[in-house]
Amino acid sequence: GAGVSQTPSNKVTEKGKYVELRCDPISGHTALYWYRQSLGQGPEFLIYFQGTGAADDSGLPNDRFFAVRPEGSVSTLKIQRTERGDSAVYLCASSRGPNYGYTFGSGTRLTVV
């Protein structure tokens, strides 16, 4: 696609529920990243995919968070047993290499009530 697409744009869920956030990167971008941004803060790294594999998942806060990219394109960030502290904007970015910079999507605003 022309840009990085994230769906849904907004998600409100109850504490304890399971949510899935989707990212559709720019076609041909092999690198895909998930970040989380809290109010007034810069984005914080969650996970980095190179192709289908998670090259670095060191930013995932705990085992309730999991992400997949089964065909090397679309990625899904999965959060189990959501907590109020998970409320944030989840950003996805893709890149065809560090020389070319990074393109971000519009984000998914997750609110856990």
Partner 1 sequence: KQEVTQIPAALSVPEGENLVLNCSFTDSAIYNLQWFRQDPGKGLTSLLLIQSSQREQTSGRLNASLDKSSGRSTLYIAASQPGDSATYLCAYPRFHQGGSEKLVFGKGTKLTVNP
Tell how strand 108-112 and strand 10-13 pair up.
parallel
* CB-based contact 94:102 (threshold 8 Å): yes
Paired residues of 110 in beta bridges: 11, 88
Q: Which stretch binds partner 1 (CB under 8 A): 11-19, 32-40, 62-70, 72-80?
A: 32-40
**Residues of span 76-105 touching partner 1 by CB under 8 A:** 89, 91, 93, 98-105
Question: Closest distance between partner 1 and the C-beta of residue 99, in Å?
Answer: 7
Closest by CA to 54, choosing from 44, 69, 43, is 69
Instruction: Output 58 or 62, the one with its CB closest to partner 1.
Output: 58
Is residue 63 exposed (0-12), middle (13-18) or buried (19+ Cβ within 10 Å)? Answer: exposed
- The CA distance from 48 to 61, in Å, is 14
25 makes contact with partner 1 (CB under 8 A):
no
Query: 28 or 101, CB closer to partner 1?
Result: 101
Nearer to partner 1, 5 or 13 (CB): 5
Number of residues that bind partner 1 (CB under 8 A): 31
- What does the binding site for partner 1 look like in residue numbers (CB under 8 A)? 4, 6, 31, 33, 35, 40-45, 48, 50, 55-56, 58-59, 89, 91, 93, 98-107, 109
